[in-house]
Amino acid sequence: VTGSAKFKRLIKEEKYSEALDVARQQVENGAQIIDINMDEGMLDAEAAMVRFLNLIAGEPDIARVPIMIDSSKWDVIEKGLKCIQGKGIVNSISMKEGVDAFIHHAKLLRRYGAAVVVMAFDEQGQADTRARK
């Protein structure tokens, strides 16, 4: 629900059909990808992601563009991947949780057939020098 204040309000109020209209409008206005982020402290992000993506699947005018599942929580990402049709895009994974978790997530993403955005973060934070990148 990051991004559009209107979308965030609609999701928090559980007005999913109106939230679909926001996504539809984005596609009609030329969006090449729909980025879905349900990270919000007062929201069950997994349930919201699943519900919204299942609704999108029934809307050919929205589902015709790729879906980017955007979350800082792996469980939300994986729930989303199970809902989408076609090749999804995940935003993002990094090495914040260590190399082993990164490799595990990368292998799962390959199994799902998803494209992925990889952020230059590790356990120490953002890669801020050429050597760390």
Q: What is the pLDDT of residue 130?
A: 86
Q: Return the sign of the alpha-carbon dihedral for residues 54, 51, 26, 92.
A: negative
Question: In the chain, where does DSSP find H-type helix?
Answer: 5-12, 16-28, 45-57, 60-63, 74-81, 99-112
Pairing of strands 121-122, 125-126: antiparallel
The single-letter DSSP state of residue 44 is -
One pLDDT digit (tens) per residue for the chain, 133 residues: 667 889 999 999 999 999 999 999 999 999 999 999 999 988 999 999 999 999 999 999 999 999 999 999 999 999 999 999 999 999 999 999 999 999 999 999 999 999 999 999 888 888 888 888 7
Helix (H) or strand (E) holding 35: strand 34-36
Q: Go through the domains of the chain in sequence order and give each one's CATH number.
A: 5-126 (3.20.20.20)
pTM, full prediction: 0.91
Q: What is the pLDDT of residue 118?
A: 96
Q: What is the pLDDT of residue 1?
A: 60
